[in-house]
Every structure is written in structure tokens, then in C-alpha cells.
């Protein structure tokens, strides 16, 4: 009986095993499918997300709304006032000697010509400044997003480069083992290659940690969960810097929000000076009323303010004049700082571009070719193992330095667009 049922048990175990393997394969496929469903995130998309929902940009947008509301308030004319008055109140208790009369009316203040226009201009300048602050904040925010994105891509490409170098050192190790097994090389050469592989693995561990940290920083900056599956689609592009320094400076002087803000403050200060000069001018009031003793008739009242306090009017004018001088000083300072920082950013970008060209046009290709030639020469016994390992170290440093140069160039280009906008 046991011999009869043993094949059945074996078939049952095989069926269970096959089902288990199929289930495991399905889980693996589902996991792979989940990884494939990672959201694609381009550099432009990351910038768009930040500009749409980052707290910094949302705050300045709300401030712009508040500035627009203050401008509407400044444009409003004084509201009329409902008044009630009386006349003929006796000085003594003998009320019969004086006839008391009451009046109900409406009064309104009329500002001195030009005062309202100056107030509205100041409010409009504040509204324009709030809009420019949105532009300035967006420029700085975009630069920070680009840097974080480039940092994440750089960390990812560094990890990939180290993994590819692992394949190279494996090829070298295989060549060393072949010569060792044939008795043409010492085992110490194989040990040196293994040490290089261990060093490479340590650097790979650090690279994976840096990649995780950089991706987390980018995702948190964009408001995502650190565990969100995201695939960065843009690489470390190195477009040529075609614009000249004079053109970059001209564009900055024309379009930069910080400089336009400084110039806007100057015009606002001029409006404040005009408004302060009108503070010494009188204001007017006019009203209509109905008297209680003759309700079929009407009356009117006229009033004028008397700005007799020279301390108040003089203080307002002195404060406005100081604000105008301050705006002039700030404008000159912003122009100077912007010129210096844009020049520095341009030089930094040029230097990074030259470093990239050094690796891409000359150095990197030569080392790539030399490592293949060195491997062939070693197999033929024409060079020693230490020379082959030196070539590998040179290749590793060249690839990583090339990535570093591309990263610095990408960051320099992003920083050049916002140089001087942070006020530092």
C-alpha cells in the first residue's frame, strides 16, 4: 500500500511546490509592477509643483491679496457722517430767555486736492511690490528645487557609476586570477584587486545612503512622503553657456525682481514725500441739515481743518524725506550687489563648464581606452598588476570627477538665474 500511494504523495508535493513557486512569481511580478508604476518626475514638473503649493509661495500670494485689498481701501473716498446738533442751550436755568433748536443732517469730508491721489499711488506701489515679491520668491524657490533635483540625480548617477566600476574591477580580478592560476603572477596581486573591490563596495554603500538622503530631501521639499515611489526622468544635462556676460548682466538689470523692487520703493518714497507735503494743507467739510424749528427749510455747514501743529507736519515731511534717501541708497546697493553676484555666478558656471569639457573632450575617453588596452597588455604579460590597478583607480576617479563637474555646472546654471535675489 505504501508503495502504491507514494507516487501520489510525491505528485501532491510537486503540485503544492509548483503552486508555491507560481505564487512567489506572482508576488515578484506584482512588486516589479509596483516599481514600474513609480511616478515620473521631471525637473520642470518639480519646479511646477513647488511653485503651485510650497508654503513660501503661498504666503507671499496671500500678502499680495492683502496689498490689493489695502489699495482698494486707499481708493475709497471718506464716508459721509450722520450728525445731530443743537443750538440755543441756555447758560442759566432760565430756559425761557433762550430758544433751543435742534438740527439733523449729513456731513462729509473733502480732502485737499492731490492728497487722495498720493495715498492711492502709495497703495498701488505696495500692490506692485507684493506682485514682484511673488516673482522673486518663485525665482529663489525654483533655484532651490533645481539644486535639490540635481543633487538627487547626481547621487543616483554616482551610485550607477560605482556599480559599473564594480563590473570593471571584476574583469580585472578575473584576469589576475587567470595569470595567478597559470603561475605567472603572485596571489598578492589578486589580494590587491580584492582590496580595491572592497573599497569600491564601501563607496557604493555611502553612495546609496547619499542617494536616499537626496531623494528624501527633494520629496519633502515638494510635499511628498519620503516613501513615495518616484522616478527622476531628467539627467545632469550640460547645455553650453552661449550667453555672454554682458548679455546676462543686461538681462538681470532689466528683469530681476530685486532690482525692480528697489526702484519701485524709490517711486513709492516720492509719493510719500508728496503726501507729507500736503499734510500741511487744510481739509474741508460740508454738510446739510434740517432745523427743528423750521422743518420746511434747510441749512448747510462748512468747515476747514487748521493744521497748526508744525511738529506733526514737519515730522511727517522729515520722515518721508529720510525714506526717500534710504530708497536711493538701497537702489544703488542692490544694483552693486546684483552686478557682483551675477558676475561671480557667471564665472562659476564658466569654470564648471570648462571642467566638464576637460573630462568629456579629452581625459575621460583616453582613460576608458587605456583601461582596455591595459587589460590586453596585462594578459600578454607586458605590464604588471600594479599598473593595471593604477589605471582602474584613475578610471574610477575620472568617472566620479566627471559626474561632480556636471553636477556643479547644472547647479551653477540654476544659481545664476537667481544670483543676488536672496539679499545676501
- Give the H or E element holding residue 353: helix 310-357
Greater model confidence, 15 or 38:
38
Pairing verdict, β 39-41 and 230-232: parallel
The more confident residue out of 58 and 297 is 58
| Mean pLDDT value of segment 50-58 | 93
User: Residue 218 burial (CB < 10 Å; 0-12/13-18/19+)?
Assistant: buried
Q: Give the closest residue to 343 by CA, choosing from 237, 253, 236, 240.
A: 253
pLDDT, tens digit, 9 for 90 and up, residues 222-246:
989 888 899 999 998 788 888 999 9
Instruction: Give the dihedral of Cα atoms 182, 185, 189, 193; nearest 10 deg.
Output: -40
**Range name among 115-119, 171-175, 278-282 with the lowest pLDDT average:** 278-282
Helix (H) or strand (E) holding 85: strand 81-87
Is residue 338 within 8 A of residue 259, CB to CB? The reply is yes
**Nearest-angstrom CA–CA distance, 134 and 59:** 9
> Is residue 82 classed as helix, strand or coil in its secondary structure?
strand
271 in a structural domain: yes
| Contacts for 208 with CB less than 8 Å, ≥ 6 apart | 159
Does any domain span residue 199?
A: no
Q: What percent of the chain has pLDDT over 70?
A: 88
In a domain, 97, yes or no: no
Q: Is residue 365 within 8 Å of 315, Cβ to Cβ?
A: no
The grid coordinates of residue 58 equal 503661498
The answer to whether position 336 is within a domain reads yes
- Are 158 and 99 spatial neighbours (Cβ–Cβ below 8 Å)? no
Cα torsion through 107, 112, 117, 122, rounded to 10: -100
CA–CA dist 190, 176 (Å, integer): 6
Residue-wise pLDDT for 167-204, tens only, equals 999 999 999 998 888 888 888 989 999 999 999 999 99
CATH code of 346's domain:
1.20.1600.10
Q: How many Å apart are CA 206 and CA 201, to the nearest integer?
A: 9
- Does 344 reside within a domain? yes
pTM above 0.85, yes or no: no
Cβ pair 134, 60 in contact under 8 A: yes
Q: Is residue 398 part of a domain?
A: yes
Average pLDDT in the chain: 85
Whether 298 is covered by a domain: the verdict is yes
Structure confidence at residue 149 (pLDDT): 96
**Is 279 part of any domain?**
yes
How many structural domains is the chain composed of? 1
252: containing domain: 235-424
Q: How far apart are the first and last CA of the chain?
A: 91
d(CA 102, CA 81): 17
Amino acid at each position: 500500500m505504501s508503495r502504491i500511494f507514494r507516487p501520489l504523495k510525491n505528485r501532491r508535493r510537486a503540485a503544492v511546490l509548483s503552486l508555491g513557486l507560481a505564487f512567489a512569481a506572482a508576488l515578484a511580478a506584482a512588486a516589479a509592477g509596483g516599481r514600474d508604476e513609480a511616478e515620473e518626475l521631471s525637473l520642470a514638473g518639480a519646479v511646477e509643483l513647488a511653485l503651485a503649493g510650497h508654503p513660501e509661495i503661498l504666503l507671499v500670494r496671500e500678502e499680495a491679496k492683502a496689498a490689493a485689498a489695502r489699495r482698494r481701501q486707499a481708493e475709497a473716498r471718506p464716508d459721509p457722517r450722520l450728525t445731530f446738533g443743537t443750538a440755543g442751550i441756555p447758560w442759566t436755568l432760565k430756559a425761557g430767555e433762550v430758544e433751543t433748536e435742534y438740527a439733523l443732517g449729513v456731513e462729509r469730508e473733502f480732502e485737499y486736492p492731490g492728497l487722495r491721489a498720493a495715498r492711492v499711488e502709495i497703495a498701488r506701489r505696495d500692490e506692485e511690490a507684493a506682485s514682484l515679491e511673488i516673482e522673486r520668491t518663485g525665482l529663489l524657490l525654483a533655484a532651490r528645487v533645481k539644486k535639490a533635483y540635481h543633487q538627487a540625480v547626481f547621487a543616483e548617477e554616482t551610485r550607477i557609476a560605482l556599480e559599473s566600476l564594480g563590473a570593471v574591477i571584476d574583469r580585472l580580478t578575473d584576469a589576475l586570477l587567470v595569470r595567478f592560476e597559470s603561475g605567472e603572477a603572485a596571489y598578492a596581486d589578486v589580494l590587491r584587486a580584492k582590496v580595491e573591490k572592497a573599497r569600491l563596495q564601501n563607496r557604493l554603500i555611502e553612495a546609496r545612503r547619499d542617494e536616499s538622503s537626496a531623494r528624501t530631501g527633494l520629496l519633502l521639499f515638494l510635499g511628498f512622503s519620503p516613501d513615495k515611489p518616484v522616478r527622476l526622468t531628467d539627467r545632469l544635462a550640460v547645455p553650453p553657456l552661449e550667453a555672454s556676460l554682458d548679455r546676462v548682466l543686461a538681462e538681470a538689470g532689466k528683469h530681476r525682481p530685486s532690482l525692480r523692487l528697489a526702484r519701485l520703493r524709490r517711486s513709492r518714497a516720492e509719493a510719500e514725500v508728496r503726501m507729507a507735503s500736503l499734510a500741511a494743507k487744510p481739509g474741508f467739510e460740508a454738510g446739510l441739515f434740517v432745523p427743528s424749528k423750521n422743518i420746511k427749510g434747510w441749512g448747510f455747514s462748512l468747515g476747514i481743518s487748521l493744521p497748526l501743529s508744525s511738529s506733526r507736519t514737519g515730522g511727517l515731511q522729515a520722515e518721508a524725506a529720510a525714506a526717500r534717501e534710504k530708497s536711493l541708497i538701497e537702489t544703488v546697493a542692490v544694483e552693486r550687489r546684483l552686478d557682483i553676484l551675477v558676475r561671480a555666478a557667471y564665472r562659476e558656471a564658466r569654470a564648471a563648464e570648462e571642467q566638464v569639457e576637460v573630462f568629456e573632450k579629452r581625459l575621460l575617453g583616453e582613460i576608458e581606452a587605456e583601461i582596455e588596452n591595459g587589460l590586453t597588455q596585462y594578459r600578454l604579460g607586458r605590464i604588471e598588476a600594479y599598473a593595471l590597478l593604477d589605471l582602474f583607480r584613475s578610471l574610477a576617479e575620472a568617472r566620479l570627477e566627471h559626474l561632480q563637474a556636471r553636477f556643479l555646472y547644472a547647479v551653477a546654471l540654476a544659481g545664476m538665474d537667481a544670483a543676488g535675489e536672496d539679499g545676501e
